[in-house]
Amino acid sequence: MSGGATGTAATGTGGTGFDTAAIDALVGDGPAAWDAAGRIPVELLRELGAMGVLCAEVPARFGGPGRTGQENGELTAHVGALCSSLRSVMTVQGIAAAVVRRFGDREQRRRYLGQLTSGRLACVGFSEPGAGSDLSGMTTRIRPAEDGSGDLIVSGEKMWITGAAYADLVMVVGRYGDGPDGAAAMVPTDAPGVRIEPVAAPLGCRAATHCRIVLDDVRIPADAVLGGGRQPLALLFTVGLSYGRMSVAWGCVGILRACLTAAVGDARTREQGGGPIGEHQLVARHIAELYTSERIATQVCRHAAEQWDRTAPDAAVTAVLAKQVAATHATRGAATAVQVLASRGFTDGHVVARAYRDAKAMELIEGSTEISQLILARHALDRL
């Protein structure tokens, strides 16, 4: 299904570096039921985590599969075509791994990347009730304990944290001490003072779980703060969000491939007015638009992954571009697919119905459409 018109995931690894048939077998026909229940079996997430699927770019020396950004992208599209909730869990695990790789010291990289590739699950807390698009407004604090123990105290509130209901660890990004700098702390979700409350009935990606996390003076050892903290907040955001944007963009490619496959299948077989609906020119136009969207999103993601793998100077802005293009096409493409399938796609759990709800989230997260446009405009104004 996920290969769509491109055939990328038909058999073998499909450019992912993984046995995609094994992933398909594990996922099976679960996504519709997971969507209805608002839960993915946590054992499955741990199994995929231990296979390295959830953070495939972690190098082999830390126990990961060591895939390239390009391979991880195709893998993300494959998973995204099956289930955006599962892909969302994959995205946050990958963000956590990317931030650990960038800011963790040697021992922290060994410890946390080893955990993240052996079945432990992580979520990432950037957003707060008063800090969404503007993360510089965050008030969560990570400060040295006053008792001289060397421990740190984490206090604050995080909102809409994907995968928190499954996570063993939450990577909390906050302000370090009383200064302007930031820090990322790896906080066990069962630590005293951590409270996790799922958001009731989200519009989409329902089985990913999105949670409010209250951190009430949570005590952690100093070695749980990546690199000792005191990094520029903006740098912490950029590293985490760049990975997240690449991942979400490829997830949108998956949404488009799933929608294209469903729409083409229906347009070939459903007969109205004396022939298959795909023979009607207005339906054929829908198919053409969906195909165009899938091709555009794929190409912009491949370009971004190429920049990512080369650590090109423009990699961060190219990730914004990929997310922006892929998310807007996915939103439109999912609506088009529902239009083609009409009543056949209009039931909760159907692949195009899920896509229709899930795709909208992609225009909000990792920088909304408006924020992405501001970044792209600033880039053009400064550089061109």
Contacts of ligand FAD in 83-122 (CB under 6 A): 92
Member of 127, 261, 293, 298 binding ligand FAD (CB under 6 A)? 127
> What residues pair up with 220 in beta bridges, in sequence order?
152
**Which one, of 243, 261, 247, 240, lies nearest residue 326 by Cα?**
247
205 makes contact with ligand FAD (CB under 6 A): yes
Helix (H) or strand (E) holding 172: strand 169-176
Member of 125, 251, 278, 345 binding ligand FAD (CB under 6 A)? 125
Q: Parallel, antiparallel, or unpaired for β 169-176 and 182-188?
A: antiparallel
Find the shortest distance in angstroms from Cβ 300 to ligand FAD: 20
Q: Parallel, antiparallel, or unpaired for β 141-144 and 152-162?
A: antiparallel
Nearer to ligand FAD, 8 or 88 (CB): 88
Find the shortest distance in angstroms from Cβ 20 to ligand FAD: 25
- Residue 91 makes CB contacts below 8 A (sequence gap 6+) with 76, 162, 244, 247, 248, 251
- 341 alpha-carbon distance from chain centroid: 27
Nearer to ligand FAD, 18 or 166 (CB): 166
- Two tokens, residue 250: 């490829």
Between CA 194 and CA 266 the distance in angstroms is: 48
Closest chain position to ligand FAD (CB):
132
253 makes contact with ligand FAD (CB under 6 A): no
162 makes contact with ligand FAD (CB under 6 A): yes
Q: How far is CA 220 from CA 64, 144, 156, 179, 247, in A?
A: 26, 10, 14, 19, 30
Q: If you write DSSP's letter for every residue of 88-116 in order, what string do you get?
A: HHHHHHHHHHHHHHHH--HHHIIIIIHHH
Burial of residue 23 (CB within 10 Å: 0-12, 13-18, 19+) is: buried
Nearer to ligand FAD, 90 or 123 (CB): 123
Between CA 67 and CA 55 the distance in angstroms is: 9
Nearer to ligand FAD, 335 or 374 (CB): 374
Nearer to ligand FAD, 68 or 368 (CB): 368
210 makes contact with ligand FAD (CB under 6 A): yes
- Two tokens, residue 346: 């209009």
Nearer to ligand FAD, 10 or 377 (CB): 377
Q: Are 187 and 340 in contact (CB under 8 A)?
A: no
Member of 82, 83, 121, 124 binding ligand FAD (CB under 6 A)? 124
Between CA 79 and CA 66 the distance in angstroms is: 18
365 makes contact with ligand FAD (CB under 6 A): yes
Nearer to ligand FAD, 137 or 221 (CB): 137
Neighbours of 179 (CB within 10 A): 9
Residue where the block lists tokens 């550089």: 383
Contacts of ligand FAD in 172-191 (CB under 6 A): none
Contacts of ligand FAD in 322-361 (CB under 6 A): 361
Nearer to ligand FAD, 221 or 232 (CB): 232
Find the shortest distance in angstroms from Cβ 249 to ligand FAD: 15
> What are the φ and ψ backbone dihedral angles of 243, each rounded to 5 degrees?
-60, -45
- Considering CB under 6 A, how many residues would be counted as binding ligand FAD? 20
Member of 132, 177, 227, 276 binding ligand FAD (CB under 6 A)? 132
197 makes contact with ligand FAD (CB under 6 A): no
5 makes contact with ligand FAD (CB under 6 A): no
- Give the x-and-dash track for 46-85 against ligand FAD (CB under 6 A): ----------------------------------------
Residue ranges binding ligand FAD (CB under 6 A): 92, 123-127, 132-133, 160-162, 205, 210, 361, 364-365, 368, 370-371, 374
